């Protein structure tokens, strides 16, 4: 998203676009499908400044989420702390060691 916003801004400057409607339309058509493009479909922006403001907020939220995903790492696997319970069937069918018979 960040790279697309920079590339789009550079193209706007290079082409010297001044018509606001055309910039908004071109940005909406050029953005890849995802949560941000869906938000642009549901809430139509009127100006490119509004798109830029919303895009920056979306970029910051994405960066914070990715940072949270990479920082939270469990210290040990969850299954290691659990004790395995024996099932009733396993204990009933286990072979018991033969008992030596001792004379009286």
Longest CA–CA span in the chain (Å) reads 111
Helix (H) or strand (E) holding 71: helix 48-71
pLDDT in tens, 66-95: 888 887 655 666 655 556 665 665 555 555
pLDDT at residue number 53: 92
Q: pTM for the complete prediction? A: 0.57
User: How far is CA 104 from its chain centroid?
Assistant: 75
Q: Domain map of the chain by residue range?
A: 2-71
């Amino acid at each position: 998203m960040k790279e697309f916003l920079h590339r789009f801004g550079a193209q706007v400057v290079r082409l010297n676009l001044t018509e606001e409607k055309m910039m908004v339309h071109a940005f909406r058509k050029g953005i890849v499908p995802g949560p941000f493009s869906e938000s642009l479909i549901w809430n139509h922006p009127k100006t490119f400044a509004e798109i830029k403001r919303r895009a920056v907020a979306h970029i910051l939220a994405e960066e914070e989420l990715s940072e949270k995903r990479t920082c939270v790492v469990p210290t040990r696997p969850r299954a290691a702390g659990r004790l395995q319970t024996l099932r009733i069937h396993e204990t009933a069918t286990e072979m018991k060691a033969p008992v030596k018979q001792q004379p009286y």
